[in-house]
């Protein structure tokens, strides 16, 4: 695993493994949604794209890469009427490991009209940085997809070859890690909420019991952590978003893109429409 934390692997592997995914409705829907204006619904008929919300929209989950420069990201945002939020990973194997690295990253983006974020992946990442430098970020987004293994190391649960034998057993490990992220990590946005590995993705409705959903919502509310509506994985579902909205949580839209998919929102707009999200339901970064 040369780039174990790149969500690009998830996308590329997933696209290659299309035949496997055909059996997993969450993902086939996700990739159907990548068509610009039309999407194939379950029955194969074509339905119109959901409308762009009337409030200002930001894609808070854009990674710059060798297939997406800052200028390209800005252009896509302009074309699609969407503000851009850039994130980079800190930690071992990534370019941001010290205050100086982080400062350089922030200063490098300052001259562009973008929000500047960070997407840590390892629990305990914040020990490497001082608060004054972290405070210069617009937001910190973290997911719970890099599960610590009991025997050391990590399980990268977004990868297509993630093995899960038993859904309940998996949840018994996943929930405590989600709780750890939501209670101990200094974050503003919870990314990829309720994502399940491919082998158990179809058990979404059974595994995300009201108790588990409410636990996440309660913890996020206690620390004012916003919920990412994730364009790639189509999570969380409408039920979760509705409950979170009623609990007063805020939301972000995120493509987790490193290419021309930046600012291309379909599932997010669909959920905004179905759940009646308004401007007041959306996350606003600290720095004005």
Residue closer to Zn ion by CB (options 119, 162) is 119
Q: Beta 139-143 vs 146-148: how paired, if at all?
A: unpaired
86, 62 contact by CB (below 8 A): yes
Residue closer to Zn ion by CB (options 119, 259) is 119
Residue 156 per-residue DSSP state = E
Min separation Cβ 132 and Zn ion, Å: 25
Residue closer to Zn ion by CB (options 187, 207) is 187
Residue closer to Zn ion by CB (options 118, 164) is 118
Q: In this structure, what are the phi and psi dihedrals at residue 230, rounded to the nearest 5 degrees?
A: -95, 120
Helix (H, G, I), strand (E, B) or coil at 6: coil
Residue closer to Zn ion by CB (options 137, 275) is 137
Single out the segment in contact with Zn ion by CB under 5 A; choices: 3-11, 43-51, 144-152, 165-173: 3-11
- Give strand pairing partners of 115: 85
Tell me the per-residue interface mask from 6 to 25 with Zn ion, x by CB under 5 A, - otherwise: -x------------------
Q: Residue 138 interacts with Zn ion (CB under 5 A)?
A: no
Tokens, residue 70? 């800052």
Tokens, residue 213? 């959903």
Tokens, residue 55? 């409030």
Min separation Cβ 141 and Zn ion, Å: 7
Q: Residue 143 interacts with Zn ion (CB under 5 A)?
A: no
Min separation Cβ 7 and Zn ion, Å: 5
Cα 266 to chain centroid, rounded:
14
Residue closer to Zn ion by CB (options 7, 250) is 7
Tokens, residue 71? 């200028």
- Give strand pairing partners of 228: 252
Kind and range of the H or E run holding 133: helix 131-134
Tokens, residue 206? 């059974």
Min separation Cβ 140 and Zn ion, Å: 12
Min separation Cβ 92 and Zn ion, Å: 17
Among 256, 258, 259, 270, binds Zn ion (CB under 5 A): 256
Residue 49 per-residue DSSP state = P
Residue whose token pair is 């608060």: 131
Instruction: Select the residue whose beta carbon is closest to Zn ion and give its number.
Output: 256
253, 265 contact by CB (below 8 A): yes
Min separation Cβ 193 and Zn ion, Å: 13
**Binding positions for Zn ion, rule: CB under 5 A:** 7, 119, 256
């Amino acid at each position: 695993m040369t780039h174990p934390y790149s969500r690009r692997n998830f996308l590329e592997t997933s696209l290659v493994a299309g035949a496997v995914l055909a059996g997993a409705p969450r993902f086939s829907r996700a990739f159907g949604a990548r068509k610009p204006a039309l999407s194939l619904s379950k029955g194969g008929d074509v339905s119109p794209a959901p409308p762009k919300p009337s409030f200002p929209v930001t894609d808070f989950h854009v990674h710059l890469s060798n297939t997406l420069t800052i200028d390209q990201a800005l252009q896509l945002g302009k074309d699609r009427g969407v503000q851009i939020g850039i994130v980079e990973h800190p930690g071992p194997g990534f370019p941001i490991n010290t205050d100086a690295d982080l400062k350089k990253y922030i200063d490098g983006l300052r001259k562009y009209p973008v929000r500047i974020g960070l997407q840590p992946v390892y629990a305990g990442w914040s020990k490497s940085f001082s608060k004054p430098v972290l405070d210069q970020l617009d937001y910190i987004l973290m997911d719970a997809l890099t599960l610590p293994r009991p025997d050391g190391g990590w399980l990268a649960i977004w990868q297509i070859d993630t093995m899960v034998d038993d859904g309940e057993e998996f949840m018994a490990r996943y929930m405590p890690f989600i709780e750890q992220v939501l209670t101990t990590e200094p974050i503003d946005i919870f990314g990829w909420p309720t994502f399940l590995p491919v082998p158990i993705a179809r058990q979404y409705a059974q595994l995300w019991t009201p108790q588990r959903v409410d636990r996440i919502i309660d913890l996020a509310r206690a620390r004012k952590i916003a919920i990412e509506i994730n364009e790639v994985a189509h999570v969380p579902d409408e039920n979760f978003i509705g409950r979170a909205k009623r609990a007063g949580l805020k939301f972000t839209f995120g493509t987790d893109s490193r290419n021309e998919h930046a600012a291309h929102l379909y599932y997010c707009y669909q959920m905004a429409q179905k759940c009646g999200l308004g401007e007041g339901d959306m996350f606003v970064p600290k720095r004005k």
